Structure 1
Amino acid sequence: MKSIKEILYGYFSKTAIIALVVTMSLGIIAPSLQAQQTIQKQEIPSDTSVSSAFQHTKKIRAGLLDIGYAEVGPSTGKPVILLHGWPYDIHSFEKSSELLASKGYRVLVPYLRGYGTTAFVSPKTVRNAQQSVVALDIIAFMDALKIDKAIIGGFDWGARTADIMAALWPERVSALVAVSGYLIGSPKANENPLPPNAELLWWYQYYFATERGYKGYKANTGAFNKLIWKTASPKWSFDEETYQRSAKAFDNPDHVDIVIHNYRWRLGLTPGEKQYDELEAKLAKSPDITVPTVTLEGDANGAAFPLPENYASKYKGKYVHHTLTGGIGHNLPQEAPREFADAIIEADSLSR
């Protein structure tokens, strides 16, 4: 025989079920269920932060490449294209891009060939990294995005690329920011030996010239590049998370071949491609740059770099140079993001 407690429990359970069926059939939802349904229907807002833009890059077909890039700022803003170097990636510009976007600039930061999400369209394309080719990549990037003219800024390979664009295609560059200034060179010019203390700074260039160097870089890319970060920016205290965020870009399957070709080509140890000979001939003459320019240098740059007084005459347009103090090394945009952003704004003002 059931107890009174069991009878009451069964009664109220059946009553609750009947009530629920009735309310559902009449379209009456209990407040708690209504709230739950509302939550389920709400769309989760997309993350439009700068960090998300750099983590989840866009991609566009541009010439020989599918170029991965971060984009921040209003689409109607004045275009700014920022170019990284070796062994760095787009994250060198994350903070400065945020500052520029807040000022209304449209900032685009592409991965160079051999880095990050940038990939060759065809497996048959020569993994070539001579200087003119990298510049042509960025011209193709601008064409793909229908950008006629942009402010171009960069450091290391990126500064060389920006210099080349300004020298050969000044109509595409409204203003220029080049860390370490004028970096255009040629294999012929690089035949001239440097003083021993300067040659010492290029140790990795000679390492890469050997088969042992190729194998060593391929086997130890992450550790090798962290060493360069430390020696090129001896006073920059970056943490492991910061390095690993950029180190992912070195997992690109073409990275090692691109880096090795770049440094061997500079020394004349491996050829470029014939179709770029005319451009390289122009660059070998060290062409002047006429677009408005700001050059920057850090007071603690541990990498090889030319002295500002040795290249100032190459900039024939409006020109300003700043040497940043406070222990700023080779990765200047990441070490001094506000000063780099200010230089972009200053270069823009010189163009008006």
Structure 2
Amino acid sequence: MLKSIATNLLEIAYDEQGDSAGWPVILLHGFPYDIHAYDEVTPRLTAKGARVITPYLRGYGPTRFLDSTTLRSGQQAALGADLLALLDVLQIERAVLGGYDWGGRAACIVAALYPSRARGLVSVNGYNIQNIAAAMRPSTPEKEYRLWYQYYFHGERGQAGLTENRFEFCRLLWSLWSPTWRFDDDTYARSAAAFDNPDFVDVVIHSYRHRYGLVDGDPQFDEMERRLSSTPSITVPTVTLEGDADGVTPQGGGQASLKQFTGRHENRVVPNAGHNLPQEAPEAFASAILDVNACAG
């Protein structure tokens, strides 16, 4: 059931399924996707007693800013703060957190900085907290070319391109990032409706500029960004997942960051899965959530 609730900054739209007294799970989507990424994950969890909450991130779907003057920030701390605020207003003390891409980043941030709020974590592509201080350090050419869309967004041409061609642009990313996934027109259109949010472009552009230190963040998140600059370890029980056909972060691309998981941790490679892993391999994602919950006791 689609619901909404107000935090201090947003009216967050979210889907809720399962027993309201069940063990809580928050599932977070990435860019450029939406809550339908978890359509086949959710019933596998509710069948095991979970209360599953899947929010639209800021800039997506029906989620809206409450104040027209609020910076449409897509920085990592904003995503983490939104998740923390959602937990607070829903009066959820602890939840299993799961996500990928932007959503995985938000989940990692809350698990790292507020471990008492995370019963456990499932994160695709490992440790998703950005090291912004090192963002201008070049990587290998093989890794750099995969990030072409980020560099495109750094200029005004890229912002105009996303504004004018968001439907086609994001579909291209789906195809490049999940080369083995044969999604159909209806599947894409169902999620692409979320990109019609009036703040989508501003939030996306800010995200991809802030992470390279090209624009300032929202001052209200300065303290959280300062804490994240130390790349804090994650101590809660965690399963990390990586698809062996991921077109953004190829298998093994996040291995170096796995040392940041200092609690109970397992990394799993999912065959024939790309970047949108929960939608491409829902059984693997759901199993990871269930295992983390069981591990947390």
Structure 1 runs not aligned, ≥5 long: 1-52
Q: Secondary structure at the match of 2:245?
A: coil
| Distance (whole Å) between structure 2 residues aligned to residue 191 and residue 312 of structure 1 | 21
| Distance (whole Å) between structure 2 residues aligned to residue 334 and residue 72 of structure 1 | 17
Asked if 1 retains the 8 angstrom alpha-carbon contact of 2:25 and 2:95, the reply is yes
Hey, what does 1:63 align to over in structure 2?
8
Hey, what does 1:190 align to over in structure 2?
135
Map Cα deviations across residues 138-192 of structure 1 (whole Å, 9 max, x no partner).
1111111111110000000111111101011101001000000101113211011
Pairing partner for 2:261 from 311, 315, 319: 315
Aligned pair 1:109/2:54, yes or no? yes
| Distance (whole Å) between structure 2 residues aligned to residue 235 and residue 303 of structure 1 | 13
Change (3 A) 1:114 1:93: same
Aligned pair 1:124/2:69, yes or no? yes
**How do 1:213-292 and structure 2 match up within 5 A?**
213-292=158-237
Pairing partner for 1:324 from 270, 276, 282: 270
Asked if 2 retains the 8 angstrom alpha-carbon contact of 1:81 and 1:152, the reply is yes
Asked if 2 retains the 8 angstrom alpha-carbon contact of 1:154 and 1:178, the reply is yes
Asked if 1 retains the 8 angstrom alpha-carbon contact of 2:125 and 2:249, the reply is no
TM-score (norm 2): 0.98
Hey, what does 2:147 align to over in structure 1?
202
| Distance (whole Å) between structure 2 residues aligned to residue 167 and residue 254 of structure 1 | 28
**Per-residue deviation, 1:275:** 2.7
Map Cα deviations across residues 320-340 of structure 1 (whole Å, 9 max, x no partner).
111011x21000000001110
| Distance (whole Å) between structure 2 residues aligned to residue 314 and residue 329 of structure 1 | 23
Deviates more, 1:245-254 or 1:122-131: 122-131
Asked if 1 retains the 8 angstrom alpha-carbon contact of 2:210 and 2:216, the reply is yes
**Per-residue deviation, 1:277:** 1.8
Letter of the 1:64 partner, please give it. L
**Per-residue deviation, 1:285:** 1.1
Q: Secondary structure at the match of 1:67?
A: strand
| Distance (whole Å) between structure 1 residues aligned to residue 223 and residue 129 of structure 2 | 15
Structure 2 runs not aligned, ≥5 long: none
**Per-residue deviation, 1:197:** 1.3
Runs (4 or more) in structure 1 with deviation over 6 Å come to none
Higher relative contact order (CA 8 A, sep 6+): 2
Instruction: Provide the identity percentage.
Output: 48
TM-score (norm 1): 0.83
Hey, what does 2:42 align to over in structure 1?
97
Pairing partner for 1:134 from 67, 79, 83: 79
Letter of the 2:149 partner, please give it. Y
| Distance (whole Å) between structure 1 residues aligned to residue 136 and residue 296 of structure 2 | 37
Map Cα deviations across residues 56-98 of structure 1 (whole Å, 9 max, x no partner).
x211111200000000010010000000000000000011011
Greater helix fraction, Structure 1 or Structure 2? 1
Asked if 1 retains the 8 angstrom alpha-carbon contact of 2:83 and 2:107, the reply is no
Map Cα deviations across residues 242-294 of structure 1 (whole Å, 9 max, x no partner).
00000000000000000000000011111102232221121111110000000
Q: Secondary structure at the match of 1:246?
A: helix
Asked if 2 retains the 8 angstrom alpha-carbon contact of 1:100 and 1:107, the reply is yes
**Per-residue deviation, 1:308:** 4.5
| Distance (whole Å) between structure 2 residues aligned to residue 341 and residue 82 of structure 1 | 10
**How do 1:47-58 and structure 2 match up within 5 A?**
53=1, 57-58=2-3
Pairing partner for 1:150 from 95, 110, 113: 95
| Distance (whole Å) between structure 2 residues aligned to residue 180 and residue 92 of structure 1 | 16
How many residues are matched?
Answer: 296
Q: Secondary structure at the match of 2:39?
A: helix
| Distance (whole Å) between structure 2 residues aligned to residue 83 and residue 126 of structure 1 | 22
Hey, what does 2:113 align to over in structure 1?
168
| Distance (whole Å) between structure 2 residues aligned to residue 76 and residue 273 of structure 1 | 36
RMSD: 1.0
Asked if 2 retains the 8 angstrom alpha-carbon contact of 1:235 and 1:328, the reply is yes
Letter of the 2:157 partner, please give it. R
**Per-residue deviation, 1:195:** 1.1
Letter of the 2:130 partner, please give it. G
